[in-house]
Amino acid sequence: MKHLVIKNVGPIDSVDLNLKRFNIFIGPQSSGKSTIAKILSSCEWIEKEVATTRDENAIASGEDFKSIIESFHKVEDYFDNPLHSYVLFDTDCIKIEYKEKQLNIILKRNVDYHRQKICYIPAERNAATLPELNGYEFGSTNLKSFLFDWYRAREFYNPENKNDVLGLGVQYFYDKTLESKRDRIQHINGKTYDISLSSSSSGLQSVIPLLVMVQYYSSQYFQEYDFKNSFELDAKAKKTRIALTSEVALTKYKPGFKDDEAEELVKQFNEELHKGVKRVLEIFDEYEKACDRLLIPNRTTFIIEEPEQNLFPYTQVELIERIAGLCSKERKHGFTITTHSPFILNYVNVLILRFYKKTENKSVLNPDDLAVYATQEGRIIDLMQLNAKTNEWSVNAEDLVEVMREMLTEYKELKSAEK
């Protein structure tokens, strides 16, 4: 369980959230849903940074905390203007508290943290389709982070491994042999047309980067992940190993040892390790497992802004079906989605009901893993509701379809008046 509290940040007045593996925020523009997602993603990243380096001072100050969120997500002046902002992020692994411009981080060292890949997929993702972006400097922003991940993911879908796009009759692939416009869209028969992604419809320009990212980072990324290439010369990885030498190996080898003993104890430990002393081998095995947990990601958390962007309702449904299916596999990926779409929220009820009906070979969502909130005027409303008769959960989406009912009612009244 993750507990997130935000007060006086941008459009957020006060929210207190219990977050789960899957989270959905729906609400009108400027109601705070994207602000929540941005702060959540930054706190997730800080948790990873602190947990993997074993350093509670990895983010040195409240000013650094604020700067990470404001600069990375381009939300300048959201904090401490005019009131003091407050953020609390409390998980099984860490407690992060920003209060009165001061930062306090507590790492819960008795908990095994497993490194995760964090993918922020912004609303501006269609910028990835523009050929003129090559070589452009974005600074340290969520768009730059997204593009870095996108450039890696797209190369997997080459001309020999084309990606069918949500049953739309088109395929996407990346052709590095071309001098420019390497992102390609082709009719599924391979003959009718072959155009650049930047020349395709706005819907395809929005959904393809999103789809490619979720597909790649829920599966192929972990198959291709090379620990040696990624971490052998990485200063952070060395720092992690040094910290775990003390925290795991030496603490178990000689409980209560003093810092000035560490160098000599490491020598003794290594000597006994090479001699095959059983107790030392067991400690070393535990140390290696701790290194793997902290240095090798085993799942991805996706933060996705407005997946429905420029998409027909049926395509929105197909996209959520695909995302839910990809994230429900054995690695236990997670997602946080911000949306304006009533179609997405109503379809979530279908995915929940499939879970209760034990539907096979289709995507499902376990309501125990799901949190759904509506944002309104800087506050939140929990939309998950329990049916007292069936003891089943669902999403309260009634208010979202009310506008459709009102339109239909007025239309029928106007038609009746014609007679």
Q: Which helix (H) or strand (E) holds 294?
A: helix 278-295
Residue predicted with more confidence, 411 or 256: 256
Please name every residue paired with 94 in a beta bridge, in sequence order, or none if there are none: 107
Predicted confidence (pLDDT) per residue in 71-127, tens digit = 889 888 999 988 899 999 999 999 999 999 999 999 998 888 999 999 999 998 988
Residue predicted with more confidence, 396 or 193: 396
pLDDT of residue 110: 82
Predicted confidence (pLDDT) per residue in 32-61, tens digit = 999 999 999 999 999 999 999 999 999 999
408: pLDDT confidence band, cut at 50, 70 and 90? confident
pLDDT of residue 226: 63
- DSSP symbols for 27-48: -STTSSHHHHHHHHHHHHHHHH
Q: Give the integer Cα–Cα distance in Å for 367 and 364.
A: 9
Where are the chain's structural domains? 2-116+298-406, 132-224, 227-295
Arithmetic mean of pLDDT, 20-29: 94
Specify the fold of 2-116+298-406: Rossmann fold (3.40.50)
135: pLDDT confidence band, cut at 50, 70 and 90? low
pTM: 0.92
Q: Give the integer Cα–Cα distance in Å for 219 and 299.
A: 9
Predicted confidence (pLDDT) per residue in 210-258, tens digit = 999 999 999 999 988 765 444 444 777 888 999 999 999 999 999 999 9
Please name every residue paired with 304 in a beta bridge, in sequence order, or none if there are none: 121, 337
Q: Is the dihedral of CA 374, 94, 53, 63 positive or negative?
A: positive
pLDDT of residue 229: 46
Output phi, psi for 300, to 5 deg. Answer: -125, 140
Q: Give the integer Cα–Cα distance in Å for 270 and 267.
A: 5
Q: Give the integer Cα–Cα distance in Å for 374 and 348.
A: 14
pLDDT of residue 329: 84
**Angle, to 10 degrees, between the axis of helix 398-417 and the axis of helix 342-356?**
120
Arithmetic mean of pLDDT, 1-23: 96
Q: Give the integer Cα–Cα distance in Å for 151 and 172.
A: 14
Token pair, residue 337, equals 């989605």
